[in-house]
Structure 1
Amino acid sequence: MPSQRFAPPSEVPGLAARRIAADIVDGVLHKHRTLDDQLDGSGAHPGLKTLADRDRALMRRLVATVLRRLGTLGHVLSRLLDKGIPSDAPRAQSALLIGAAQILWMDVPDHAAVDLSVRLVQSDRRAARYAGLVNAVLRRCAREGAALVEEVAAQSLDLPPWLLARWSAHYGEATAREMALALGHEPSLDLTVKSDAAQWANRLHGETLPTGTVRMLLHGSVTMLPGFAEGQWWVQDAAAALPARLFGDVKGKSIADLCAAPGGKTAQLAHAGAQVTAIDRSPARVMRLRENLARLSLQAETVVADAVEWAGPAEGFDGILIDAPCTSTGTIRRHPDVAWLRQGA
């Protein structure tokens, strides 16, 4: 758990969101924790409960922007720092990254980005002595950062070198760089709805895809959208919603969903009337799956087990769905931590 103490409610507006964003960025870069683990379920950052929805949305955007632009941010800061980013104070590093991300890519006044980053390091015992450095570097970033970004715009720095090399070998260098560029943009939000996709698309100001998925751009917190609390829909990429539909009519059939968490396919099958057994080896992820099913008022048997070793019932199943674990590099646009948590083979 993060060691920083929470400031009183009277603290500067926006500081709490940035403090939690800094903790989560540090969790990804130094503790190798996924965003999913830090944002949802039993392992979520405890400070999230204290944030208003507007601040929670800001925090998520801060984290996503830093991780999507991490390579470019590293280049910019290396040019502005004589001795590199301080390695003995993670909070100084995260404050610089968050401050520069706001200055270069977010609609935040430069003076606010600088001031709040300085406050971040001042509130941390190990990083406090770097407050002056953070202030000076971010002020230079406001003046010189855009030009530094432009000089490396064609270099695809925001992908780890090993991944860019792999994509270049498979798809060609030009296509790989186009893919890398696309990853820098915020993705759309895809929803699977229980019924009347057209009505929900209209209500949520989105569009209905040919597959029935409702697609929209998210500006705010998912939990505040109409229909979330009532369990009328769940977040699920359009492509991820296709495999469960290949079963056809599953009403009354027994289906095993292997590697099931966080539960989008389980929810699809259960809503269609299947008797679902959802298996995943991660207790934390199974807990998230159960929470999602509870919100949706859907039923499924859940099992914490490694699907490779799990024997299952003697009578077997009418069908088995498996979304096998992989490198997840195809999900980087929505999960920007993946690029920095995976290693090349």
Structure 2
Amino acid sequence: MKALVLSGGAGTRLRPITHTSAKQLVPVANKPVLFYGLEAIADAGITEVGVIVGDTAEEIQEAVGDGSRFGVKVTYIPQEKPLGLAHAVIIAREFLGEDDFVMYLGDNFIVGGITGLVDAFRTERPDAQILLTKVPNPTSFGVAELDGEGRVVGLEEKPENPKSDLALVGVYLFTPAVHEAVRAIQPSGRGELEITHAIQWLIDQQRDVRSTTISGYWKDTGNVTDMLEVNRSVLESVEAVNEGTVDESSEIIGRVRIEAGAEISRSRIIGPAVIGAGTVISDAYVGPFTSVSEGCRIEDSEIEYSIVLRGSSITGVRRVEASLIGRDVEVTPAPRNPSAHRLVLGDHSKVQISS
């Protein structure tokens, strides 16, 4: 069995971060989202991975390399334009061959991995297996309709009037039957070859399409709110480790991971939190659910429930919350506007000025 990981999207919902960085490489607890997916694939016993790349191909390749650090062998498959998930299957045909495969969206995050799902698929081998989860806003997702026995009878991509609240999670499992399906469909109204249309084609052809509804934690990390929520979830399991330097006047409370070379002085850090390698924190407060990447500086400031990327500094800022701060960013107080009172006073005036 192989894996096809999609890492070619533009990440428009995470701009301006994704103007200069691949959305799949934005870190959660100081590790890129994409890495969690590759680790889950390796844990499921899959060693051959095709990675679909687009405009950020160079950055993805530099970060992932040949895949050996994850225990897999990576083949990069360029996609000139983001023409849909089904299009990604088409261009990966040579890599996939006649093998079963799992398709994993590189910006998705699933707690607990996919090992159980992959094992069941290997045993039962339906033509397609999809993951579903209940969501409050199904119009933003591909949505599945099930019959009374729980079988998939219909799929819609971002419907205006959804027939259920069951959204497709960004993990799909296929046999080679899907290759006929992706070539049988036409582009949607947004000009993409939708994987939902391909799966619907399989359903219409009376092929065996099954679903699993998951109750565990899943997030599409395509926007800042979800990214911060995933970061919070991952930090819930962080273990307290101190590989840096903490002076006697600092206070570390709860589960805080301080990586090698980090320096903490005259500061208070409340976990769960992660402080990256070489980061300097002085006269500052770092609150729960905060990830500070490597080489950052936080001085005379307060930050909580946020993600700070590599090489950024926050100096003299009273409070930062629920923020995603990119690489090599400088956050400082706005300069004070000089204040003055201009007066034209008549004789014998009395004026009280508060200053």
Fold shared, TM-score > 0.5 on shorter chain = no
Q: Structure 2-normalised TM-score?
A: 0.24
Bigger relative contact order, structure 1 or 2 (CA pairs below 8 A, ≥6 apart) = 1
> Structure 1-normalised TM-score?
0.25
More strand by share: 2
Larger Rg: 1 or 2? 2
**Is the helix fraction higher in 1 or 2?**
1
